[in-house]
Each structure stands twice: as C-alpha cells, then as structure tokens.
Structure 1
Amino acid sequence: MARVLEMRFNNAAGRLVTIKVPDVLDSFSGADASQLMDNILARNIFTSTGGDLVAKDSARIVVTDVTELEFS
C-alpha cells in the first residue's frame, strides 16, 4: 500500500494549494504534519500561481492499495 501525505495550504489569492509527499512513515502523526506545515510557511520555500502560501488548511494521509488484474 502506498501512503501519501497531502498538505493543503491557502495562498495569497485565497485559493487552496496541495503539496504531496510520497511514502510517508506509518508513525507520521498530526503533530508531525502541523510542524512540517509550519516550517514550510516560515521558510516560504514554495510558491504558487496565486502567490505565496500564507496559512495551513488541512492535512491527510491517503492510502492506496493497487491490485493488478490479469486478463487474456
């Protein structure tokens, strides 16, 4: 199963921006996500077409299970 962290921010234009981090650890917590998002905002390392990221909106971990199918 693939685990992807999705962090959603508001940008200067008021739109949502999603940053995805693949292969997040099983032990990654909400507190870890909040701290990471605070660091991203404080360092201003990402920008978007709507300007700088200005606030945290939400975070979630998406788990995907892929099953290959055989056919003839």
Structure 2
Amino acid sequence: MKKLELKFLNEEGSTVTISLDEPVEPTDQIAIHAAMDAIIAESCFYSSGGNLVEKKQARIVERNVFDIEL
C-alpha cells in the first residue's frame, strides 16, 4: 500500500504529518506544493502544537506486509 505523506511544521516547531492513501502516480510536484500552501493559508488543520505554519516534506511511502503462517 502506498501513501502520500505531507509533513508540516506547526507553531511549536513540531512535525505534523497528513497521510493520503493511494496517491495518483506519477506525482505532480506543482499540485502538491499548491495543496500544501492552501492547507497552510486556510488553517484547515490544527495540531496540539498550534496551526500548521511551514512545509517540511512530501513523500511517497510504500509498506509491504507479509503474513507468517503459524
């Protein structure tokens, strides 16, 4: 399963991550930057450390799970 992780800094300087399942690939860097800018400008998410104030990182994370039969 792949996820798009958008990482921000809040007012206290802590990292806040917003994860989105099954991102469209290939990724559109311009659209990701614009979405992150809009999230900051609209203050639509709040964390325990205050509003999101700065973009930190965006990344695709892939997780593979393999069951072990017992």
TM-score, scaled to structure 1: 0.83
Please give the secondary structure, in 2, of the residue aligned with 1:53: strand
Runs of 5+ consecutive residues of structure 2 not aligned to the other structure: none
Percent identity between matched residues is 36
Distance in 1, Cα, partners of 2:31 & 2:61: 16
- The structure that has the greater radius of gyration is 1
Runs of 5+ consecutive residues of structure 1 not aligned to the other structure: none
How many residues get paired?
Answer: 70
Partner of 2:50: 51
One-letter code of the match for 2:6? M
Distance in 2, Cα, partners of 1:31 & 1:66: 31
Question: CA RMSD for the aligned pairs?
Answer: 1.4
TM-score, scaled to structure 2: 0.85
Please give the secondary structure, in 2, of the residue aligned with 1:40: helix
